[in-house]
Amino acid sequence: MKRIAIIGAGISGLTVANQLKHHATIQIFEKSRGVSGRMSTRYADPFQFDHGAQDFTVRDPDFKDFLAPYIESGLLQEWQPKRVLLEQGKPALDRSWSDSHYVPVPGMNALCIKLAEDLDLTLNTEIINIEQKSGAWFLETKANNSIGPFDWVITSIPALQTIKLLPASFTSHSAIKDVVMLGCHSVMLAMEDPFPWSWQAAIVKNSPIAWMAVNSSKPGRRAKQNTLVVQTDNQWAEAHIETDPTEIQSIVIKELTALLSYDFSKPTYITTHRWRYADTPQSAGADYHLDHTLKLGACGDWFIKGRIEAAFLSGHRLAQKIKSTG
Ligand SMILES: Cc1cc2nc3c(=O)[nH]c(=O)nc-3n(C[C@H](O)[C@H](O)[C@H](O)COP(=O)(O)OP(=O)(O)OC[C@H]3O[C@@H](n4cnc5c(N)ncnc54)[C@H](O)[C@@H]3O)c2cc1C
């Protein structure tokens, strides 16, 4: 059997691993202490927050088929918030969704945790280099270990990290180097009292804030806690990407207070996370990139669009291609 190393345990990498696990010997390496990547959930007992991806839509038939058993089992549930458009000094406008939006239960990370079951997964292991010796690939970890040999290496990490890790002969592929990804800050807060407004999700215009969701309104969450996830506009985030998180938090709280005329000065819990790569205004425009001579592959949302469905499709289509070409 072929030996394949997969770098990154977000939904794209886990999809590749699951689809090739009977076809090759798979080992996955993930730098964080858990799986899910940008579909993670932050736990700060007794609170929990989906601080990355918020929910997802399902349009492609392959994604629908893949999700069907999880919808059936209740691992994925529809979230139907009252959604509004907010702008300072203007009344809230209804912007309810016309299509279904899903969330994993009890937290956003639950789908990736399920996908990681029964896989050979090594956490807390950042791969900083790959090297070819006698026709096989070896991975170099940040802790200075060499792991291998592998016949193939597949990355499922953001575009810039892919460019840093893989040889130029692979990444000079123009579509990869032209990809643009933008950041985002997530401010997570909990308040003692129930929120006084009637909506559970809001898009925000003309503000550093682009989105907020009452996290505790999602199905299966620890519903007794009044938790809010507030995410900054990607362009604004990019301009403030090196700003200290406490300063970001103050700006967001000031903006929230003005927007909602509500006193956020005494949250029960508050923290801020910076996402370096959140959205992809310019994608690679292909589903994935494979080089059969080098025996290297790359997938991830950024090939198609900064969305969970796109990340799945990128990994799925790369795996199908490897299967069909032996
Ligand atoms: C704030 C935010 C909000 C979002 N909102 C939505 C939304 O509402 N709906 C939606 O559909 N999508 C949303 N997205 C996008 C969605 O989260 C992504 O499209 C999807 O999760 C990407 O999956 P992936 O597998 O391609 O990458 P990732 O999830 O980024 O997975 C890559 C993994 O690789 C690991 N890694 C990176 N480098 C290395 C290395 N050198 N060695 C080992 N491991 C490494 C990372 O730790 C990570 O776990 C949002 C994203 C963010 C950040």
The three-state secondary structure class of 244 is coil
Among 277, 202, 208, CA closest to 247: 208
Q: Which residue's CA is the closest to the ligand 1 atom numbered 15?
A: 307
Provide the pLDDT for residue 12.
98
CB of 184 sitting under 6 A from ligand 1: yes
CB of 188 sitting under 6 A from ligand 1: no
Q: Which residue's CA is the closest to the ligand 1 atom numbered 35?
A: 8
Specify whether domain 46-107+180-282 bears CATH 3.40.50.300. Answer: no
Give the DSSP H or E segment for 189.
strand 180-191
Pairing state of beta strands 152-155 and 296-298?
parallel
Pairing state of beta strands 42-44 and 24-29?
unpaired
Distance, CA of 176 to CA of 179 (rounded, Å): 6
The three-state secondary structure class of 20 is helix
Which pLDDT tens digit goes with each residue over 284-315? 999 999 999 999 999 999 999 999 999 999 99
Give the domain 1-33+123-179+283-326 fold: FAD/NAD(P)-binding domain (3.50.50)
CB of 12 sitting under 6 A from ligand 1: yes
Say whether pLDDT at 326 is over 90.
no
* DSSP at 217: G
CB of 307 sitting under 6 A from ligand 1: yes
Which pLDDT tens digit goes with each residue over 217-250? 999 997 667 999 999 999 999 999 999 999 999 9
| Per-domain boundaries in the chain | 1-33+123-179+283-326, 46-107+180-282
Distance, CA of 14 to CA of 61 (rounded, Å): 19
Residue type (1 letter), 69 = P
Among 188, 193, 196, CA closest to 232: 188
